[in-house]
Amino acid sequence: MKLHELKPGQKAVVRHLDVDRLPMKLVEMGCFPGSEVELILKAPLGDPYYLRIDGMPLCIRKDMAMQVDVELLTYGIHGS
Amino acid sequence: MEVKVALVGNPNVGKTSVFNTLTGLNQKVGNYPGITVDRKTGVSRMGDTLKVRIIDLPGIYSIQPNSRDEEVVLETLFDRHNTYYPDVVVVVTEVENLKRNLLLFTQIKDLGFPTVLAINMADQLPVKGIRIDLEALSEKLRTEVVLISTRTGQGISQLKAAISRYVEADKRPLLDLASVDETYFRSMDYKSWLTRSQGAVFEGVEPVSDGLSESEIKRLQQKETVRRYQQIGEVLKAAYTKDASVATGWQARADRLLTHRVWGYLIFFAVMMLVFQAIFSWSSIPMDWIDEKFAQLSAWVSATLPEGKFTELLAEGVIPGIGGVVIFIPQIAILFMFIALLEESGYMSRVVFLMDKLMRPFGLSGKSVVPLISGVACAIPAIMSARNIENSRERLITMLVTPFATCSARIPVYVIIISLVIPEQMVFGFIGLQGLVMTLMYFLGFLAALTTAWLLKMVIKARSRSYLIIEMPPYRRPLLKNVLSTMVEKTRAFVEGAGKIILALSVLLWFLGSHGPASTFGKAEETVIENFAGKNLSDDELQDEIEGYKLRNSYIGILGSGIEPVFRPLGYDWKISIAVLTSFAAREVFVGNLATLYNIGSHGEEETRIVERMEQERRPDGSRVFDLATGVSLLLFYAFAMQCISTVAIMRRETNSWKWTFIQIIFMTGLAYFSAMLAYNLLK
Ligand SMILES: Nc1nc2c(ncn2[C@@H]2O[C@H](COP(=O)(O)OP(=O)(O)O)[C@@H](O)[C@H]2O)c(=O)[nH]1
């Protein structure tokens, strides 16, 4: 699934991101394959997204979130 | 010898606070009229002998340039011959986001600088349930690590000690590039890699050619960054623990409230209202007081000093001129206090988040909100603050429309005009009408900014995709010291920068106003007496007529009647025209200049306040000069016109284009002229 499909409160692990289409800054802010993301909330108009990446807060727009592959984490069982 | 120390760090780690703590008020910021630099410097003493120059650089996340802010830092750190090239770099980080902060640290370290790691906000450790093993960290990073808090003062002396030991620092790189890609990096060091990957230039480092495509390079960059994070993760595993059970529930609740679909916008609106109302109403008491004191001073000077040109210059030129500057100190200070509070508390980032989607149809981004809001203080730092906008079109549009935001230099004009033409009434029993009009003027500025942005979006083509990546700093109680230092620094810059121009202009105006051609000005008395012969005027009335005649025939009067036709369609007499014209140097001079013009010839006999003088001005037909039509026309003219030379200079520099600078001047001033004309003719 993609990052933008998360619901507030859900956690996931980043699987893949396309560096050709996404700015390097995203990686520099700690978002890369293997990092854990949590959607905290969405802005009132559904965009941007307020995330926590490995515990550190970050906001990105929906169009960017749509290009990040993630895998949903269910509590207790890590990455099935 | 002076040792240069650069402070580098992510935004919001408290770098400004560290800078303020190290330098006290020994700082120099050139952010204002005239010279403009992007770095703050200050002096600090360490021990008995060492004098250190501290250089504060813009907050950045990485040494790969994404925005203009980051380029400034890189110019300083990459170029050995740069004036600010540091001997030591202090990387400032904070306890909570240490992991992200350390990315930049490892990059700086790998550049080979003697480096000190300062971990700020130590006072938050118990609150957030964080423990840091300094020894382990220092050993693994091969760097002096100091835990500090600018709030409690903890660790500052250790930080100074660590800086003064900079010669002993271990300069070996932390990241083994071979661990990123063994074959590619076999014979390449970090600087060569930066030359290849981001086109950096280092003295003595050869460019690399390897036949790799852009996308392959990007992939390697990503691997490098991920590798750095892995290494940081390993280091922190041993040296950093966070107790997850420590609740920060109120922060989450605050976020939900402040970004709520209804409450979020309402609160934002209310905050802005509060700011504008405060500027208008809190400042009225100190302003009246200052106004009165200057009027008394003028009267006192002309009564006490021996009569003559010098006394006149003082009482009619210099003192009213200075008064016109000093009077606005309360408002400028209050305004910058609010701006500092919004930034420091973390609320500004929530506003960016809240507004992003709304701003995009106008070709702007959420980040444009920061320049637009700080434009309310002054367009110059505001235009510079657009530097962190990565997308070039969004940045250009933001810079072009920011001068529409109602800057503090317009406050003097608005305050005076509003108090002249808007009655002092209450609407709904509790909102002052004058304050309401003031608020409307601010909204008018924003409206003009948005509309223009929308037009520009149609014209300017996008060259790259726009994106938004921002951090959400935790809410923090603002440090009083930071707020005060912002207030003092900006107010001082206002008084010194604008003050000089205003003083010079008011002396010039006084001179031009009290001298004139001998054939008319020189024969004022005779001419008037002749003209009014047989009309039976009292001595006082005759004196008034003579003064009036003198002013009309002085150099300034001649100049004024020359340009009056240009401004007549807007409803301005020649005195207002002169004041408007001189405002193109800086808007603040409007009131001071009018004060000077109206004071000339008064001999400071009665101590009159600026407002009263303006209220008493009459047209030849006996009607008030400052009536509603002229007042509104002036308000609109000042709301839209591009009237500040410093802003023009900064636009030229930041856009690096005369074309856009001229387009901006012509568009804004044209809009000002025609809307003022329209309003005047409708209300007349
Ligand atoms: N608790 C705490 N807050 C701090 C400390 N130092 C700075 N702050 C706060 O952190 C916020 C950001 O500080 P500032 O110096 O503006 O950060 P900069 O963006 O890195 O220049 C402000 O609200 C400061 O009041 C500290 O030692 N402890």
Question: What would the pLDDT profile of B488-516 be if each residue is shown by its tens digit?
Answer: 877 777 677 667 776 787 788 788 888 88
Q: Which residue carries 């499909």 as its tokens?
A: A5
R_g of chain B computed on alpha carbons: 30
In a domain, B277, yes or no: no
CA B12 to ligand 1 centroid distance, Å: 6
Most confident of the ranges B173-177, B286-290, B522-526: B173-177
Q: Quote the pLDDT of residue B122.
A: 96
The domain tally of chain B equals 2
List the single best residue of A20, A50, A59 to mutate versus B (max B Cβ within 10 A): A59
Alpha helices in B214-317 (DSSP H): 214-239, 249-258, 263-281, 284-304, 309-312
The CATH number that applies at residue B30 is: 3.40.50.300
Q: What is the pLDDT of residues B292-322, one digit of tens each?
A: 898 889 889 988 888 888 888 888 778 877 8
Going by pLDDT thresholds of 50, 70 and 90, the confidence category of residue B192 is very high
pLDDT, mean of residues B359-366: 92
In a domain, B132, yes or no: yes
CA B17 to ligand 1 centroid distance, Å: 6
Going by pLDDT thresholds of 50, 70 and 90, the confidence category of residue B125 is very high
Amino acid at B179: S
Residue B671 pLDDT exceeds 90: yes
Residues in chain A: 80
Question: Are B259 and A25 in contact (CB < 8 Å)?
Answer: no
Q: Is B597 left (phi over 0), alpha (psi -120 to 50) or beta?
A: alpha
The H or E element spanning position B489 is helix B480-493
A11 touching B, CB under 8 A?
Answer: no
Q: Would you state the torsion angle of the CA atoms of residues B308, B314, B318, B324, taken in this order, to the nearest 10 degrees?
A: -120
Beta-ladder partners of B120 = B94
Most confident of the ranges B218-227, B383-392, B555-564: B218-227
- The Cα of B365 is separated from the nearest Cα of chain A by a number of Å equal to 11
Question: Are B467 and A64 in contact (CB < 8 Å)?
Answer: yes
R_g of chain A computed on alpha carbons: 12
Going by pLDDT thresholds of 50, 70 and 90, the confidence category of residue B157 is very high
Cα distance from N-terminal residue to C-terminal residue, chain B: 68
pLDDT, mean of residues B480-494: 80
In a domain, B51, yes or no: yes
Tell me the C-alpha distance between B141 and B145, whole Å.
Answer: 9
Q: What is the pLDDT of residues B550-581, one digit of tens each?
A: 878 889 889 888 999 999 999 998 889 988 88
Instruction: Compute φ and ψ for B248, nearest 5 degrees.
Output: -120, 40
Alpha helices in B305-374 (DSSP H): 309-312, 319-326, 329-345, 347-359, 369-374
Using CB atoms, pick whichever of A24, A30, A54 lies closest to residue B221.
A24
β-strand pairing of B240-242 with A49-53: unpaired
Domain termination site, one of B140, B174, B208? B174
* ipTM for the predicted complex: 0.91
List the single best residue of A28, A31, A67 to mutate versus B (max B Cβ within 10 A): A28
In a domain, B384, yes or no: no
Tell me the C-alpha distance between B411 and B587, whole Å.
Answer: 9
Domain termination site, one of B133, B148, B174? B174
Count other Cβ atoms within 10 Å, centred on residue B233: 15
β-strand pairing of B426-427 with B431-432: antiparallel
Count other Cβ atoms within 10 Å, centred on residue B658: 10
Residues in chain B: 684
Amino acid at B579: A
- B436 in Cβ contact with B367 (< 8 Å): no
Residue B327 pLDDT exceeds 80: no
Which structural domain, as residue segments, surrounds residue B502? 497-683
What percent of chain B clears pLDDT 70, i.e. is strictly above it? 94
**Closest B-chain CA to A29:** B100
Tell me the C-alpha distance between B399 and B393, whole Å.
Answer: 10
Domain termination site, one of B174, B205, B226? B174
Q: Quote the pLDDT of residue B27.
A: 60
**Closest B-chain CA to A22:** B467
- The Cα of A66 is separated from the nearest Cα of chain B by a number of Å equal to 13
pLDDT, mean of residues B118-139: 94
Q: Which residue carries 């930034």 as its tokens?
A: B343
Q: Which two tokens stand for residue B173?
A: 């790189």
Fold adopted by A3-72? SH3 type barrels. (2.30.30)
Beta-ladder partners of A49 = A42, A60
pLDDT, mean of residues B44-60: 85
CA B13 to ligand 1 centroid distance, Å: 6
Of B386, B128, B374, nearest in space to B243 by CA: B128
Tell me the C-alpha distance between B561 and B540, whole Å.
Answer: 26
